[in-house]
Chain A
Amino acid sequence: MDKPAIPNSFRTGPDEQGMFGIFGGRFVAETLMPLILDLERHWNEVKDDPDFKAELTDLSTHYAGRPSKLYFAEGLTRHLREVSSAKGLGGGAKVYFKREDLNHTGSHKINNCLGQILLAKRMGKKRIIAETGAGQHGVASATVAARFGFPCVVYMGATDVARQSPNVFRMKLLGAEVRPVTAGHGTLKDAMNEALRDWVTNVEDTYYLIGTAAGPHPYPELVRDFQSVIGTEARAQILEQEGRLPDTIIACVGGGSNAIGLFHPFLDDKDVRIIGIEAGGRGLDGIEHCASMNAGAPGVLHGNRTYLLQDADGQIMDGHSISAGLDYPGVGPEHSWLRDSGRVEYVPVLDDEALEAFKLTTRVEGIIPALESAHAIAHAVKIVPAMDKDQIVIVNLSGRGDKDVHTVANMLGMEI
């Protein structure tokens, strides 16, 4: 296939059909079509509505704690400069963390949930459903549902329920009902199927609060817009703190909402190198990874066309990642388009590399990152020593790692 022509701007998508090039779209059952069109109508009404924006900004500030800080990771920078010197390179870029881990509920997920709960309220919906992988989106959904008085059902793969038990408990405390899904491998893909089945059954009163920038149009667009606060802030903060734009920005990509949130405001800054990190799991040779853009092919799942892990018959594969939040065989459609257009590089990071970065960051920064975010840090660890000292890298620290301590202890052969 020919590469798409380079557009004047990378920030204009999607088109009216919800397409980013060949990706995106509205591949859903007829029962859901009227709901999706209704959602799009409401979204178009509120996205430029000053009252809606003011309400969201107020909540983001006083409830979620925005803006999140852009933090100069001095300990990690010093460590990577030592690595650089040891290699005889004498370099090592300055590393900044965008501290989404400091948000209320501990990750970037709250940005999207606050936006969508306000939308649900405006639409007069009575009930919230959500899917979750690591549980971060489930917790954020349960949180906003509690705050606004909605009953909330969270679908979560049974495997994830087991490996993310602290988040399951948090959701229950917040009043949500967590429904474990045993189909497939019991991970995010299966949770999303089950959430869609709930939605198709409860069309009258239910709002489906999708947690990532994927699914049928307009979800990829609206989730991106709610998450773009990350990149908008980071861009202004680095200009204020360093007086210039970064050389490289890095974020992990599962469905890809924290990544598109960081990337989108930088897409037309053509000197900024943008790198998305996929879960390389146990390596791309086998099937134990979730690197859909490195090892998958375009296909149709969960309402959109995007890169997917699938077999020659078009059956979706389950994939694997140490991190439940990246354990998804697809990716948001805008990432697929950014990949094919060449604007963003997508590279895999292995489970072991992420685990090392998790330990390193904890030790040299006193910050326990989420295993998802540790994938992005791991890539910084690889490339920063070869960069110059006057260069700048921003890594999206999309969430905190408290939820992962059981998984990590398990990997390290420890009991807690």
Chain B
Amino acid sequence: MTTRIDRRMAKLKAEGRPALVTYFMGGDPDYDTSLSIMKALPGAGSDIIELGMPFSDPMADGPAIQAAGLRALKGGQTLVKTLRMASEFRAGDNETPIVLMGYYNPIYIYGVDRFLRDALASGIDGLIVVDLPPEMDEELCIPALKAGINFIRLATPTTDDKRLPKVLQNTSGFVYYVSMTGITGSALADTGKVAAAVGRIKSHTDLPVCVGFGVKTAEQARVIGANADGVVVGTAIVNAVANVLGPKGEKTADPAEAVATLVSGLSQGVRAARLAAAE
């Protein structure tokens, strides 16, 4: 069976360009604003949406996404509301894939079976759960696959050739290559090394490989997109929201517009990626 992610990736492959995958934090700075950001993403050029589920203890995230999660939680965001946000978005867009990204505990407390049922009903296509490595596949990965939801795994520079098959085994949708060891929002790694790593992963799988961690500009998106099947941008988007919030959290400009402007630029980058590569 195919998911919206599979269909979108196949379509982009036919068009000969990489996907722009955009992460934003659900509920940051509040539910309504966040939903308006989500709705603005496809029009600005986002091909796949990663909807962040805030968690009190985001151990793999840098200061920007930590702060975004805290703003969302302070604004009253819960997993129930994040799922509602997805289904409100879905009412107006039945094509753009939505991937939920976050940590396991809120899902575990929600209840895995109930979560998968409600996620499907909300139009969720994939999951990225940072603290569930393949060793813990019985927890959520296998039930999600059975339910028809893609489980997208992170591969990292520490995932060597020996381990890669284990990481890829139950992965579907795409592989998310983390360009460096570290937390989200750090500086982009050497792009030559990233290209080599993408090639290495592709020699093990037919799945699309998207690259994230550290991509902030259209130029970086273009360079990474020359080899990868997709480019993930997160911290830069979260920062675009933070930049239009005043010291007390008041909005100094429209966050959805700020995000759309950034994403349009990034989208030019991924659209130029293969043109440049072909030159």
Contact = CB atoms under 8 A, between A and B. Distances in A.
Nearest to B81: A313
A193 B108 CA distance: 20
B183 A201 contact: yes
Interface in A1-55: 17, 25-35
A287 to B, nearest CB: 13
Contacts of A203: 158, 181
Q: Which 4 residue pairs across A and B have the least CB separation, nearest first?
A: A314-B109, A314-B106, A201-B182, A315-B56
A118 interface: no
Given A31-B178, A34-B160, A316 B105 contact: yes
B135 A201 contact: no
A165 to B, nearest CB: 26
Contacts of B57: 184, 189, 193, 301-302, 316
A303 to B, nearest CB: 8
Please tell me the size bucket of the interface on A. Answer: 35 or more
Contact of B153 (A30, A31, A300): A30
B154 A316 contact: no
A183 B62 CA distance: 12
A34 B158 contact: yes
9 contacts: A26-B133, A27-B131, A29-B59, A30-B155, A31-B178, A200-B182, A203-B158, A300-B103, A314-B106
Contacts of B108: 299-300, 305, 314
Given A33-B134, A314-B109, 12 more contacts: A26-B135, A28-B133, A29-B130, A193-B59, A196-B60, A201-B182, A299-B108, A300-B104, A302-B57, A302-B59, A314-B107, A315-B55
A317 B108 CA distance: 16
Contact of B106 (A28, A35, A200, A313): A313
Interface string B51-66: 0000111111110001
Interface in B86-138: 103-110, 130-136
A336 interface: no
B73 interface: yes
Contacts of B159: 30, 33-34
Interface in A200-242: 200-204
Contacts of A25: 135-136
Interface of B: 55-62, 66, 73, 78-80, 103-110, 130-136, 153-160, 163, 167, 178, 181-183, 186
A28 B60 CA distance: 9
A193 B105 CA distance: 15
Given A33-B133, A299-B109, A197 B154 contact: no
B133 A197 contact: no
Contacts of A197: 59-62, 183
Contacts of B163: 33-34
A27 B131 CA distance: 5
Nearest to B130: A29
A314 B103 CA distance: 10
Nearest to B180: A201
